[in-house]
Structure 1
Amino acid sequence: MEYGSIEREIHVDASPEVVFEVVSSPEHISQWWTDDADFEARPGAVGELIWGDRAEVAPITVVTAEPPRLFAFRWCYPDGKVDDSADSMLVTFELTPSGTGTNIRLTETGFREMGWEAAKLEEQYREHSVGWDTFVPRLGEYLARLVSTP
């Protein structure tokens, strides 16, 4: 197995503008992925993704915010602190109009660059793969509910 990147694609019946808002704003992210989130969708902004009652907090740094086509952030910093000099994972949402909807392509890279031992690399890759297998469909379901609500 390569363990270089994770890619997931999904088509949704929502405009790229709506999808961009849903993948880049804390109030929407907390509906399909995290329990809470706090950040601004602008390059260089630092914030948090939060699960449970702050049981798990992951700092993030927004890398790219180009509405309505591209949103990317870094996370999984060593020691749980934002450090621009340290390796971290990069998550990118690429949004492409398709018919009346949008193709969403999620890519997460940086696994090999983290310097983990083989067993930890395999474990982290598997955990993230299973996570995106859960949350990308939830993103699609949330968008379907959002655009069908009058």
Structure 2
Amino acid sequence: MLATVEQDIWIDAPVDVVWRTVTEPELVAQWFAIEADFAPTPGYEGTLTLGRTQEPRRVRVSVQSVEPPRSFSYRWLHPDGVPARTGTSVLVTFTLAPERDGTRLRVVETELDDMGWTPDELDRYLAEHTRGWAGHLGRLADQLTATRP
């Protein structure tokens, strides 16, 4: 079985609002990254500065696909000077679907098995990112619910 990180949450906000919140850098910086520098354009190379719960660090992102308002994906964690592809980066995919007057948002990280990590490193990544995405998505849902009329 392939290792993946998967989290989903129902958000009391329309799909178009959730879409903007996961694809517009200034909104991403409110719930996920300290700073976001990317464009929701396939092939765009940007960065996310992470560190809400740990020492800040900048990671490169390479936008892979954009299908408004249903799907958005990027690769991350590839070293400087190395192209983002299978074996050098992890693929992160956001999927949005209308559900009960709101939105079901799902985040999946794949291609973890191709990173060359030891079993302990992979287990640590899975635990940290499963916990991390749960917290970030909760913050996103709280933020959108608080601003909803």
TM-score, normalized by length of structure 2? Answer: 0.88
Residue 65 in 1 paired to residue 66 in 2? yes
**Alignment partner of 1:44: what SS?**
coil
Whether 1:41 aligns to 2:46 is: no
Q: How does 1:1-150 map to 2 (within 5 A)?
A: 4-51=3-50, 55-77=56-78, 79-85=79-85, 86-148=87-149
Q: Do 1:73 and 1:92's aligned partners in 2 also have CA atoms closer than 8 Å?
A: yes
Deviation, structure 1 residue 137? 0.7
Task: Tell me by how many angstroms 1:87 deviates.
Answer: 2.6
Kindly indicate whether the alpha-carbon contact (under 8 Å) linking 1:59 and 1:81 is maintained by their aligned counterparts in 2: no
% identical aligned pairs = 35
Higher alpha-carbon deviation: 83-92 or 118-127: 83-92
Shift in CA distance, 115/142, structure 1 to aligned 2, threshold 3 Å: same
Displacement after TM superposition at 1:146 (Å): 3.0
TM-score by length of structure 1 reads: 0.88
Secondary structure at the counterpart of residue 122 of structure 1: helix
Question: How far is 1:80 from its partner?
Answer: 4.5
How far residue 90 of structure 1 moved from its aligned partner, in angstroms, is 0.9
Runs of 4+ in structure 1 off by over 6 angstroms are none
5+ residue gaps in structure 1? none
2-structure distance, mates of 1:128, 1:10: 15
Of 123-132 and 83-92, more deviation after overlay is shown by 83-92
Question: Secondary structure, in 3 states, of the residue corresponding to 1:59?
Answer: strand
Q: Per-residue deviation at 1:145?
A: 2.1
- For the Cα contact (< 8 Å) 2:7–2:130, is it kept in 1? no
- Whichever residue aligns with residue 15 of structure 2, its letter is P
Q: Counterpart of 2:123 in 1: which secondary structure? A: helix
User: Displacement, 1:48?
Assistant: 0.5
Deviation digits for residues 82-116 of structure 1 (CA, Å, limit 9, x no counterpart): 51354311111111111321111111112111011
State the Cα RMSD in Å.
1.8
Structure 2 unaligned regions, length at least 5: none
Q: Quote how far apart the aligned CAs of 1:3 are.
A: 6.3
Number of aligned residues: 145
